[in-house]
Amino acid sequence: MKASNQKLGTAMLPNHLGIIMDGNGRWAKKRGLPRPAGHTAGANTFRTIARYCSRIGIPYLTVYAFSTENWKRPQDEVTALMRLFKQYMEEALRDFTDENIRTRFIGDTSAFAPNLQDLIRRTEESSKDKTGMVLNIAMNYGGRAELANAMRQLAREVAAGSLVPEDINEALIEKRLYTAGQPDPDLIIRPSGENRTSNFLLWQSAYSEYVSMDILWPDFTTKDLDRALMEFAQRNRRFGGI
Ligand code: IPE
Ligand code: IPE
Ligand code: MG
How far is it, in rounded angstroms, from Cα 235 to Cα 85? 34
Q: Which residues contact 170 (CB under 8 A, 6 or more apart)?
A: none
Residue 25 CA: nearest ligand 2 atom is 8
pLDDT at 52: 97
Q: How do the domains of the chain map onto residue ranges?
A: 12-142+184-232
How far is it, in rounded angstroms, from Cα 14 to Cα 29? 33
The structure's pTM equals 0.96
Superfamily covering domain 12-142+184-232: Decaprenyl diphosphate synthase-like (3.40.1180.10)
pLDDT at 1: 38
Which residue blocks in 57-136 are alpha helix, DSSP H?
75-95, 114-127
Coil, strand or helix at 208: coil
The DSSP call for residue 194 is: -
How far is it, in rounded angstroms, from Cα 23 to Cα 138? 17
Q: Determine the distance separating the centroid of ligand 3 and the alpha carbon of 168, expressed in angstroms.
A: 36
pLDDT at 98: 87
Q: Determine the distance separating the centroid of ligand 1 and the alpha carbon of 34, expressed in angstroms.
A: 12
How far is it, in rounded angstroms, from Cα 213 to Cα 225? 10
Residue among 58, 3, 183, 124 nearest 50 (CA): 58
Cα 18 to chain centroid distance, Å, stands at 5
Q: Which residues contact 115 (CB under 8 A, 6 or more apart)?
A: 86
22 is catalytic: yes
Q: Per-residue confidence of the chain (242 residues) as pLDDT tens digits? A: 344 455 567 779 999 999 999 999 999 999 999 999 999 999 999 999 999 999 999 999 999 999 999 999 999 999 999 999 999 999 999 998 889 999 999 999 999 999 999 999 999 999 999 999 999 999 999 999 999 999 999 999 999 999 999 999 999 999 999 999 999 999 999 999 999 999 999 999 999 999 999 999 999 999 999 999 999 999 999 999 99
Q: Which residue of 26, 72, 198, 202 sits with most ligand 2 atoms within 8 Å of its CB, as the best mutation to test the pocket?
A: 198
Q: Indicate the residue type of 18.
A: G
Q: Determine the distance separating the centroid of ligand 1 and the alpha carbon of 21, expressed in angstroms.
A: 7
Could you tell me how many residues make up the chain? 242
Ligand nearest to the CA of 27: 1
